[in-house]
Amino acid sequence: MTQKQGGMTLIELVISMLLSLFLIAGMSQIFMQSQKNFAIERHLADMTEDAVFALDLLSKNLSLAGYSSDGKMDLFLTETEADAKLINSAIIFNQSEYIHGVNDELIYRFKITSATDLKNSLCTESLNFKANDIIKVRIYENKDSDGIPVFYCKVKQSSVTEPFNAKPLISQVEKLEFRYGVQNKNDVNNPDDDTFYYAKADDINDWKNVFAVKVFLVMRSADNNVTSAKMKYTIENTSYTASDNRLYHVFSKIIYLQALAQ
C-alpha cells in the first residue's frame, strides 16, 4: 500500500509568502512611523530647550533697561545719529528713553555703577567696567555666514568708540517679533483707566510709557525634511508658511521692564 506524503501545495506556499510580505510591510511602516515620531519629539525637545534659554536670557537682559544702581536716571541723554549708527541706524533714543525698537528688534540701555551690573547678561559679561558708562544692547535675529538664522546681541559702551562684535546666542531662530506694552492713556473721558495693550512699534507715541515687552520667538528644527508638508505658524493674527520641511514652533513670553514699571 502506497503512503501519501503531506506538504504544502504551490497555492498555499504563495499565499503564505504573500501574508508574510504584508506582515513585514506593516511592521516596517510602523517602525518608520515610530522613527519619524521620535525625530519630531527630539527636535521639538531641542527647540523648546533653546527657546526657554533664549527667553530667560531676554528676561534677564530687559530687566536692566533703565537700570542704574545709584538711582540717577537723569544721565541718559539723547544720542547723536552718528553714535546710533554704530549699533543700528534705524533706532535713535530720545531724551530719557531706556528702550526703543521696531517690530523685529529692539535696543535698551542702562548705566553701570559697579562691575556686577555687567555680569547679569551674557551680552555684557565680557565688557570692562568703567563707572557711569552707558551700555546699549541691541537684540535681533540675522543669518550667519552659513545662512542659518541666529539670535544675536550687540553691545555699545559709551566710553568705547566702536561697538563690540555681534555675539551669537542661539541658532535656528527663524523669527523674532516684539510687541510693546503701554498703558491706555488715550481715553480722555476715563483718565484713571489703568488698562494696557500691546502695540507694534509704529503705534508707540512715547517710548517712556512702554513697561513690558511681549516676545514671539519662532524656532525651527536643525534638520530639514522632518515634516512631510511645509508647516504653517501664526504670530498673533498673521500666518506664515515655511519655505522648507523643517519643524517650526512659536514660543512667547511677556517680560516686564522693572526699572520703568516702578
Least confident of 45-59, 135-149, 184-198, 233-247: 184-198
Better pLDDT: 88 or 200: 200
pLDDT tens across 144-173, in order? 999 999 999 999 888 887 778 889 999 999
Whole-structure pTM value: 0.79
For position 185, what pLDDT does the model report? 60
pLDDT at 4 over 60: no
Q: What are residue 250's DSSP bridge partners?
A: 218
The sheet that has 99-101: what strands, in order across it? 99-101, 106-111, 134-143, 149-157, 167-171
C-alpha cell, 249: 514652533
With residues binned 3-state (H G I as helix, E B as strand, rest as coil), the percentages for the chain, rounded to 5, are 30, 30, 40
Task: Give the pLDDT mean for 109-130.
Answer: 84
For position 22, what pLDDT does the model report? 73
